[in-house]
Structure formats: C-alpha cells, structure tokens
C-alpha cells in the first residue's frame, strides 16, 4: 500500500440538527455547530489552514482560513465560525488570496529556509500551505527580529523539538491537553515572544510529558519530529495493523521506507483509539528488530548443554519425536502446552487445536489463568458471557465512573485519556485502590472519592457498597423485576442487607471510613449512568471471582447494565488476552467458552478436525507444575510466555520446568523460561504476524504483516508442522483460512472473516447473523444467559496474613513505559524512564526500618526473598508496599505465594505478607540474569 493519506476536515464533528449552507456555490448540509471549515471540507472544498485540525477544538490563531460570508462584514476565520442556516460562504476571492499570502509571508519570513534538507520535506503543512496560497516571494528579509536561533531539545529519546521551526500554532499544547490529558505544554510569553514550553521551562524529559507523541502528530511543521524520520527520511508506504502491547488494542498505520519501519502513526479510524496512542505503541517497537532476537531453531539434550542451531525440520522432528516418546512411556496426558496472549487468535487457535487433536488431551491453559480468569468465571455466572459489556466509547456517556484495582494511566493509557476527557466534561470518579494512583488527582481531574482499602478486602468493600444500595432504597426494582432472576435476587438482597456487610461493620476490615463508602455508593446508585472499570487489582486475589460477581451484582441491582454509559468492564492486560480465552485456551473449554464435556460441542469440532476430543478437562497451569514435580507430566510446549518470570512462586515454577524431560519454547528471545528448554523455536513479532487480536472491548482487529517473518515461518505454520510430525496432519493456506474455521465452529465469531474486517476496520463479537456488524454493547435486551443471576458474595479473608515476622503487605502493578515482564520494552529506549523495578514504601514504614529512597532492601516473604531498591512514596498507605515486575532480576515473583482464586486458580499476586530490611546487597542486574544462559555452540 502506498502511504495512507489522512483525511482531515479541520475541526471536530458536531452533533445537532442539520443546517443547510452553500459553500462556493455548492449546497451542503451539516449538523448545527459545525464550523464553516468542516462544512466546506465536507463539500470537497479545502480551506487553507495551519492551526486547525479535526482532532482538536478550533483555536483561531493563524488567520489563514479566512472566508467571506454573504451579508457579513469582514473575513471571519472559517475554523471558529459555526454554520448557520442559509449561510452562503465564499472561500476564494482576490481579497482572500491577498490576505492569506500576506499571513503566509509573515510565517515564512521567520522560518528557516531549509526545506530541501528538512526531515519533513514533502510531509509539512507549512510547506503545503505556502504552495496552496501561491506564495512566490517573501518581501521581508531574515535580518529583522526572528526565532531562527531557537534551541533544539533532544532530550526525549523518540522525538526532537526544534524551536526555530515553531510557528506557535498551539496545536501541540492543545493535543497534550485535549487528546492526551497530561497538560505538559504551554505557550509561554506573549506576542512575538510566544514560545512552546514544556512545564515551567523544563526539557521534555524533565517535564510531566509521558511521551505519548500526540503533540508530534499534531505539529504541522517539523518542529516536533520523530527522530526516526530525521534519521531515515519520510516514509513511502504504509500498512494498517494493531499494537501488540496492551488490551486497549490501538490501531496503527505502520509507515515504512522499503522494509524499514519509520514510524507508527495511530489510526484515526481505529475503533479503540481514534488516532491516539501511548509511548509503547507509538515508539517502543524497536525490539522487533533487536539483535537479541533468536531467529534460528535450536536444540540441546540437556539444559546444561550449549544450544545447537539446527534446521526447522530437525527442530520440529526433535520436538515431535520427543513428545511422542514421552506419551508412549508415560501416557497421553503426560504432555501439554500453554498458549500466549501475545499471539494472534489464529496462532492460539492452532496451538489449542494441536494440543487437543495431536497431543490427544485437554492439557492446554493460557497466561490468562494468571490475570483475568476470574473475569471469565464471574461474568459468565452472572451475565452469561466471559467478556466486558461495553465498547470504550461508552465511557463518554458515563456520569459516574468507578475504577477498581486498575491504574489506567499506566496500564491502559489510551483508555485513560478518553476517561479523563469525560471526567473533564463533568463525570464523577470513584477510585477503589490501596495506592493513590494518578487518577486520584491529576491536572483537571480529581476523584470524588478514593476508597484506599487494605489489599485483599475488595469483596468487603463491594458488599458494603451494595449494602447501602439495598438498605437505602437505591435498588432499580423495575430493572431487576424485568431483567433478573427473582429467586437469586431475593436471596442476595437478604444476604447483602445483613449488618455484617454494612460500611460500619466492614470499615475495620477494609480500613475505609464508613461515610466514604456510603457517599461512593450513593454516587454510583444515583448517577444516571454509572460504569465500573476494573483491572488485575480485582482478579488477582483469593476471592477474585467473588469480587467480579460482587461488581456484577451491584451493576444489576442499580440497573447499570445493558445500555451505553454503564456496564462492568475488565481492562484486559495483554493485547490478546480476550482472544486467547475466546479461542479455547482453557483446559475445560473449547473455543467460544463451551465445555469439553458437551458432546454436541465436541461433535462440531470433531467433524471439522476429523478426530475425537477427550471429554475430560485437562490440567490447569498450577496442576501442570505440580504434576511435573510429581513426575507425571514430562513434556510441554510454551508459546510466547515467560512463566519463569511472570508466574508466582518462581522457585516452584523453576522446579517444575527443571523436572520436564522435554520443554519446547517458542519466543522472540531467550527468556527466563528458555533456560529450561530443550527445543527453542523462534517466534514472530507483531510486525511479522498475519491475523487478528481481540481487545478488552471484544473488538477484533487485523494484524497485518509489514515485513516477512524473520525466522522464515509464521507461528501458526510451526504449530501445524509440529502437529503433523506427531501424526496429526494439519495445514492451512493462510491465516484467513484459520479464521474461517473459527467462524465455522464458533457461533459468536460466525460472521467474522478477514474480508469483513478489511471492509469494516474491526468488529466486536458477537458477530453473526443476528449482529452482522458486531455488538458494541452487550446484554441490551436481555442477558446472554437469559435472566441476570445474583450470587451471594460473603467476604472470606485470604489465608495470607501479616504477622510480626511479615508485617507488611506487598502488592504489584505496572508502569507506563514498561510492559509485563519487559521482554520487549526493556529492549527499547523506554528503559530511560524505568531502568529497574523499585519497591515503594510509606514514609512511616520506611523510617521505622531505617530505609531511604535509593537504598537496597531485602523483601522477604514466606516463600522467598529478593533485593530491590526502595522509594519512599506518599502514594502508599501505611503497611502496604508496592513494586512492578518488569525486570527478571527484581524477582518480584520470587516472593509471591501460591495462594490463588478459589474458582480459577488465578494467583493472589496482590497480597503477599513481607518484611523489608536494608541490605548491603545490590539488586540483580539484567546483565547478570542474561549471563546465566547457556551459549550457542559455535558462537562467540
């Protein structure tokens, strides 16, 4: 595809009754409030402009967009002039042309005349507009006062700011505020001295800037410019694809020169992101071509041997023979595999099919086990389907938003920007989190309530909120009577009204004052539209599933479900965690969340796959580990997951991996898990993949290859070859054929095809005959299960308790610049923001232990010990410490326990009793971790 030319109508769309106007003799009808500029563009007439763009509110500063309006004096700016009925507009006249040339002449007289060597040559709106207005000469010399000696700020690793090229149009300032919501930029000074300034005259890196790149995208000149464009030149072709980091699932236009990515531009048509992005998706893609990538298959007999590079055929034969030999000796169930939420739906589908059809068992699980499996369970029990209820756009219609156990500005930044936009427009916010996350107070955003609860007490809080709803008369009786089960509601109502669930009774458990809980409950129940958004701070608990059902109860009782602006919405972690669950990655479920014991469902797949499927559920990940240590489970295929870093109680995980006779790892890098592997199969980055990802709003987005697989194989081809080597021939012509098979076997995907996705951009499942264009909002006319089901949710404290030896609670989370185990982001300049994991501690807890910011401290739990650097932080409540787990050396999961959710075994990452103490030991560095890898034979 040649480069995508982005259509820009100049100012944002408006909603309103249609008004008819005439532009240059062309009749056009637009919603009331639409600018003359946008109306003209709609009629196919482009008015010259510099300070206007349709992603920002009009500003009216450049005066290039002047027009004449019949019956009105002067020449108003078309970007700030709304259409009125019957208006007749002229966009071209000798007077307008002269005025525009004069404006342009002034701009150019204060601009470096280096177009031919400028990195934006050919991609610069100032250059374009000079041509459009017909500027031929500049009468003013460059010897008067000008800004040509303006300094360049190169502090940001991804973009530079060249002040000499700035035309003070303020698009960057407005993008940072309106689109991103960070407000890091201002225009300092007045008149001629007006200059863009990051914070109070800081460098970009020294300011609050979060490097989202919205300002760079908005800049009409080369003032704010990607460094890759400066180095490589203006792109020549582009491919639309999807970010491979988080569950927001932002769409991007990858812009290339030849095979080299020059920049990633967020797609304005992207259903999830509407033209915005965060630092990871826009800038942190360099890992895909990092020298650390292992591009050739390798094998070794023992994990202490050096690796031996082999052909694909040899690697596949080695893996297939080894797995078959284990089954021959130890039984069909002695092997299994783990699918990856980083991979496409098609890749995941093929791996679970390989396990079910070629391995002959259901020993397949996915990393969602350790994050959102309680979401699947809890929402299925109450609503009937394992997915969030809304699209992201829905939040723009919420009056009250409750964020529970999530930190969207770090974990789901593009959703956070949208949410902040809504909050600035007047919606109220309740944050339920032990830590003071950014949303509690940030520029132009302040939570109405922050319920700073003790980790592990979510269920007590949600019960207390529901208690207020029931006992203070806030139940939406009409909704409950029409949409929910009468019996389960009646039982739940009696349960939740018990005095033990009152805010006063639970205050001692949660640490949250009762009046704050009452205020929050009243706010939620009386909002009009109230929406819940939640993250792993809900699910990664021993009562994770209970909490999900508690939130669902609350939403049903108040009628906040089944329409726009409300709902219960998981903020999914990884890019395709929704998809990997949809694709049948759980040991008890075939694609579409249908139980393996259901003969009818098995029959559908057996007919298409030409084999029989075991009706017994297989092993979950923790059971795989236990069986490995017990000597009953000896062979494993792990697709793109670093479980030796990401799973809890790492010592136990490593013991299990070390017990395997054959571990096959498919990944981009030799990670911590690969230290235990016997076969390494190179994977593909998102820039090479062909398929689909499904984001947190059930949106199926296309992932298109921008380059050929560097290893020579798509990952689905590798799974097919391994299945074939094991005696089950499997083959597809392309990824589209795999999606066709998914659609043929899975009712919620029945209408999905690459063709439809290419035509519509994306669709949200269910997509079938009943909803051919997908389903943005679920449970509109009825719940998927029929009537909404209430579940009693008694609070049961976790077994993980503090005591004198372990008096603090450790909880974990993410940071904006890094992602998950950091395998990708650690291999990008994002390390400049976060180069090691630190443990945050309350000032009082630090003082009593003699700990200062920057000190090395040991973190000791009942299962392990690690060393991190400390950061004294006022975000933490007393008694709670917090860390991230982006670096393998930090070993955050060395200390997390094996306690897990009662229903799904999702680990209780968020509650670990620990003690901290100063130490002279230094944290383990990444280089030290890498040095533990066995060398590749024949390589220095």
Q: How far is the CB of 716 from ligand SF4 (least distance, A)?
A: 22
Does residue 215 bind ligand SF4 (CB under 6 A)? yes
Sheet holding 251-257, edge to edge: 237-242, 251-257, 260-266
Beta-carbon neighbour count of residue 523 at 10 Å? Answer: 19
252-256-261 Cα angle (round to 5): 75
DSSP letter at 605 equals: H
Residue 172 touches ligand FES, criterion: CB under 6 A: no
Stretch that binds ligand FES, among 62-70, 111-119, 836-844, 925-933 (CB under 6 A): 62-70
DSSP classification of residue 777: S
Partner from ligand SF4, ligand FES, none contacting 61, C-beta within 5 to 8 A by type = ligand FES
The strand pair at 298-299 and 308-309 is best described as antiparallel
* Three-class secondary structure of residue 928 per DSSP: helix
- Residue-wise DSSP of 155-208: -SSSEEEEGGG-----HHHHIIIIII----EEEESSGGG-EEEETTTB-TTTSS
**Closer to ligand FES by Cβ: residue 62 or 198:** 62
Among 414, 531, 703, 914, binds ligand SF4 (CB under 6 A): 414
Q: How far is the CB of 65 from ligand FES (least distance, A)?
A: 3
Residue closer to ligand SF4 (CB basis): 80 or 251 = 251
The smaller minimum CB distance to ligand SF4, of residues 430 and 703, is found at 703
Q: Which residue is nearest to ligand SF4 (CB)?
A: 281
Q: Which residues contact 562 (CB under 8 A, 6 or more apart)?
A: 389, 483, 777, 778, 779, 780, 781, 783
Closest CA to 338 of 643, 564, 84, 600: 643
Q: Is 87 in the site for ligand FES (CB under 6 A)?
A: no
By CB under 6 A, name the one of 19, 39, 130, 219 that touches ligand SF4: 219
Centre a 10 Å sphere on the Cβ of residue 731 and count the other Cβ atoms it contains. 10
Choose the one of ligand FES, ligand SF4, none that binds residue 52, judging by a C-beta under 5 to 8 angstroms depending on kind: ligand FES
Q: Which is nearer to ligand SF4, 278 or 916 (CB)?
A: 278
Residue 133 binding ligand FES, by CB under 6 A:
no
**DSSP, residue by residue, 543-596:** THHHHHHHHHHHHHHTT-SSSTT--EEE--SBTTHHHHHHTT-STTEETTTEET
Phi/psi for 809 (5° steps) reads: -105, 125
Measured CA to CA, the distance from residue 130 to residue 799 in angstroms comes to 70
What minimum distance in Å lies between the beta carbon of 40 and ligand FES?
Answer: 12
Burial of 378 (0-12, 13-18, 19+ CB in 10 A): buried
Contact region for ligand FES (CB under 6 A) — 44-52, 173-181, 423-431, 870-878?
44-52
Report the residue number, 217 or 575, with the smaller CB distance to ligand FES.
217
Provide the minimum distance between the beta carbon of 64 and ligand FES in the complex, in angstroms, as a whole number: 5
Under the binding rule (CB under 6 A), the answer on residue 53 touching ligand SF4 is: no
> Which structure tokens are listed for 414?
């593009």
Among the listed ranges 61-69, 182-190, 507-515, 602-610, the one in contact with ligand FES (CB under 6 A) is: 61-69
Least distance to ligand FES from the beta carbon of 11, Å?
Answer: 9
- Please report, as residue ranges, which positions from 223 to 242 form the binding site for ligand SF4 (by CB under 6 A): 223-224
Among 360, 384, 413, 907, binds ligand SF4 (CB under 6 A): 413
Mark the segment that binds ligand FES (CB under 6 A) among 47-55, 196-204, 343-351, 622-630.
Answer: 47-55
Contact 214, 241 (CB under 8 A): no
Confirm or reject binding of residue 61 to ligand FES (CB under 6 A). Answer: yes
Pick the closer one to ligand FES by CB: 103 or 929: 103
Nearer to ligand FES, 40 or 808 (CB): 40
Among the listed ranges 56-64, 251-259, 361-369, 634-642, the one in contact with ligand FES (CB under 6 A) is: 56-64
Q: Does 63 bind ligand FES (CB under 6 A)?
A: yes
Task: Verify binding: residue 50, ligand FES, rule CB under 6 A.
Answer: yes
- Helix %, strand %, coil % of the chain (to 5): 35, 20, 45
Q: Does residue number 49 form part of the binding site for ligand FES (CB under 6 A)?
A: yes
CA distance 824 to 284: 8
* Binds 168: which of ligand SF4, ligand FES, none (CB < 5-8 Å by kind): ligand SF4
Distances (CA, A) of 882 to 434, 511, 562, 821: 10, 18, 36, 16
Q: Is there binding between residue 905 and ligand FES (CB under 6 A)?
A: no
Helix (H, G, I), strand (E, B) or coil at 72: coil
- Give yes or no for a contact between 873 and 927, defined as CB atoms under 8 angstroms apart: no
Q: Is residue 62 a contact residue for ligand FES (CB under 6 A)?
A: yes
Tell whether residue 245 is a contact of ligand SF4 (CB under 6 A).
Answer: yes
The correct pick among 41, 65, 451, 557 for binding ligand FES (CB under 6 A) is 65
Q: Of 63-71, 154-162, 349-357, 932-940, which part binds ligand FES (CB under 6 A)? A: 63-71
172 binds ligand SF4 (CB under 6 A): yes
Buried b (16+ CB within 10 A) or exposed e, 672-684: bbbbbbbbbbbbb
Question: Restricting to residues 79-138, which ones interact with ligand SF4 according to CB under 6 A?
Answer: none
**877: which 2 tokens?**
């409540």
For ligand SF4, the binding residue among 41, 56, 166, 719 (CB under 6 A) is 166
Closest Cα to residue 888, out of 834, 832, 861, 926?
A: 926
C-alpha dist (Å) from residue 222 to 136, 167, 630: 21, 10, 62
Three-state DSSP at 859 gives strand
Tell the smallest beta-carbon distance from residue 174 to ligand FES (Å).
Answer: 12
Question: Does the footprint of ligand SF4 cover residue 262 (CB under 6 A)?
Answer: no
- 410/405 Cα distance (integer angstroms): 12
Among ligand SF4, ligand FES, none, residue 339 binds (CB under 5-8 Å by kind): none
| Residue range at the interface with ligand SF4 (CB under 6 A); choices 163-171, 324-332, 835-843, 879-887 | 163-171
- What's the min distance (Å) between Cβ of 688 and ligand SF4? 17
SS3 907: strand
Binding-site ranges for ligand FES (CB under 6 A): 49-52, 60-65, 77, 79
Binding-site ranges for ligand SF4 (CB under 6 A): 166-172, 175-176, 180, 182, 184-185, 196, 209-215, 218-221, 223-224, 243, 245-246, 248-250, 273, 277-278, 280-281, 413-414
């Amino acid at each position: 595809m040649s480069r995508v030319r982005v259509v820009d109508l100049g100012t944002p769309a408006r909603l309103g009754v249609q008004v008819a106007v005439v532009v240059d003799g062309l009749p056009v009808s637009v919603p009331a409030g639409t600018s003359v500029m946008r109306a003209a563009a709609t009629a196919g007439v482009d008015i010259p402009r510099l300070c206007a763009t349709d992603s920002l509110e009009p500003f009216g500063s450049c005066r290039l967009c002047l027009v004449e309006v019949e019956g009105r004096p002067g020449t108003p700016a078309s970007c700030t002039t709304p259409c009125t009925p019957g208006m007749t507009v002229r966009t071209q006249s000798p007077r307008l042309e002269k005025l525009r040339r004069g404006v342009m002449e002034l701009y150019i007289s204060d601009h470096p005349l280096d177009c031919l060597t400028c990195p934006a040559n050919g991609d610069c709106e100032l250059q374009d507009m000079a041509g459009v207005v017909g500027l031929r000469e500049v009468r003013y010399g460059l010897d008067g006062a000008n800004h040509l000696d303006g300094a360049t700020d190169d502090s940001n690793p991804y973009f530079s700011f060249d002040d000499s090229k700035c035309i003070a149009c303020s698009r960057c300032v407005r993008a940072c505020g309106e689109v991103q919501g960070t407000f890091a930029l201002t225009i300092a000074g007045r008149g001629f001295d007006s200059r863009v300034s990051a914070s109070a005259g800081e460098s970009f890196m020294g300011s609050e800037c979060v490097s989202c790149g919205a300002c760079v995208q908005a800049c009409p000149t080369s003032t704010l410019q990607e460094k890759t464009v400066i180095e490589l030149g203006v792109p020549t072709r582009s491919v639309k694809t999807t970010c491979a980091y988080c569950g927001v699932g932002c769409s991007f236009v990858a812009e290339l020169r030849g095979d080299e990515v020059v920049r990633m531009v967020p797609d304005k048509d992207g259903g999830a992101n509407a033209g915005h992005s965060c630092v990871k998706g826009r800038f942190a893609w360099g890992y895909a071509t990092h020298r650390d990538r292992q591009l050739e298959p390798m094998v070794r007999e023992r994990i202490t041997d050096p690796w031996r590079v082999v052909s694909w055929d040899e690697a596949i034969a080695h893996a297939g023979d080894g797995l078959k030999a284990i089954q021959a000796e130890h039984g069909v169930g002695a092997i299994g595999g783990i699918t990856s939420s980083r991979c496409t739906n098609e890749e995941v589908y093929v791996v679970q099919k390989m396990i079910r059809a070629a391995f002959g068992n259901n020993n397949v699980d996915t990393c969602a086990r350790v994050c959102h499996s309680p979401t699947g369970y809890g929402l299925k029990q109450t609503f009937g389907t394992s997915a969030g209820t809304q699209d992201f756009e829905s939040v723009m219609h919420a009056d009250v938003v409750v964020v529970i156990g999530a930190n969207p500005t770090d974990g789901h930044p593009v959703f956070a920007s949208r949410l902040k936009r809504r909050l600035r427009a007047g919606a109220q916010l309740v944050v339920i989190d032990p830590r003071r996350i950014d949303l509690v107070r940030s520029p132009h955003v302040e939570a109405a309530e922050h319920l700073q609860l003790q980790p592990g007490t979510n269920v007590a809080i949600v019960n207390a909120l529901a208690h207020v709803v029931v006992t203070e008369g806030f139940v939406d009786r009409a909704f409950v009577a029409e949409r929910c089960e009468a019996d389960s509601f009646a039982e739940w109502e009696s349960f939740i009204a018990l005095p033990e669930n009152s805010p006063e009774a639970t205050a001692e458990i949660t640490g949250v004052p009762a009046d704050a809980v009452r205020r929050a409950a009243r706010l939620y129940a009386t909002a009009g539209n109230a929406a819940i958004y939640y993250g792993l701070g809900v699910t990664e608990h021993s009562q994770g599933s209970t909490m999900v059902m508690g939130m669902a109860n609350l939403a049903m009782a108040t009628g906040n479900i089944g329409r726009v602006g409300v709902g219960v919405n998981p903020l999914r972690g990884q890019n395709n965690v929704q998809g990997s669950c949809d694709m049948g990655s759980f040991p008890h479920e075939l694609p579409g969340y249908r139980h393996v014991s259901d003969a009818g469902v098995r029959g559908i797949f057996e007919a298409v796959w030409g084999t029989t499927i075991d009706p017994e559920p297989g092993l979950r990940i923790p059971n795989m580990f236990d069986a490995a240590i017990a000597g009953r489970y000896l062979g494993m295929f792990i697709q793109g997951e670093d479980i030796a870093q990401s799973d809890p109680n790492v010592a136990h995980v490593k013991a299990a991996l070390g017990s395997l006779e054959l571990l096959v790892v498919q990944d981009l890098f030799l990670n911590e898990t690969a230290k235990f592997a016997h076969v390494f199969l190179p994977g593909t980055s998102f820039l090479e993949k062909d398929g689909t990802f499904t984001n947190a709003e059930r949106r199926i987005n296309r992932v298109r290859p921008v380059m050929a697989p560097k290893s020579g194989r798509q990952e689905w081809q590798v799974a097919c070859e391994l299945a074939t080597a094991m005696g089950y021939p499997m083959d597809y012509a392309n990824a589209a054929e795999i999606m066709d098979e998914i659609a043929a076997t899975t009712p919620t995907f029945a209408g999905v095809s690459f063709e439809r996705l290419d035509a519509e951009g994306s669709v949200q499942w269910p997509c079938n005959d009943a909803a051919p264009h997908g389903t943005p909002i679920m449970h509109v006319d009825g719940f998927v299960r029929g009537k909404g089901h209430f579940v009693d949710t008694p609070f049961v404290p976790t077994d993980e308790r503090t005591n004198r030896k372990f008096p603090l609670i450790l909880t974990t989370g993410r940071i904006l610049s890094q992602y998950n185990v950091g395998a990708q982001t650690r291999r990008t300049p994002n390390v400049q923001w976060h180069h090691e994991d630190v443990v945050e501690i309350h000032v009082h807890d630090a003082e009593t232990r003699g700990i200062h910011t920057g000190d090395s401290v040991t973190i000791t739990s009942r299962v392990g010990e690690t060393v991190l650097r400390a950061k004294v932080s006022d975000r933490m409540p007393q008694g709670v410490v917090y860390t991230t787990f982006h670096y393998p050396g930090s070993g955050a999961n060395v200390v997390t326990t094996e306690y897990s959710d009662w229903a799904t075994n999702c680990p209780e990452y968020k509650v670990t009793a620990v003690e901290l103490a100063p130490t002279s030991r230094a944290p383990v560095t990444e280089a030290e971790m890498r040095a533990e890898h066995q060398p590749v034979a024949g390589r220095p």
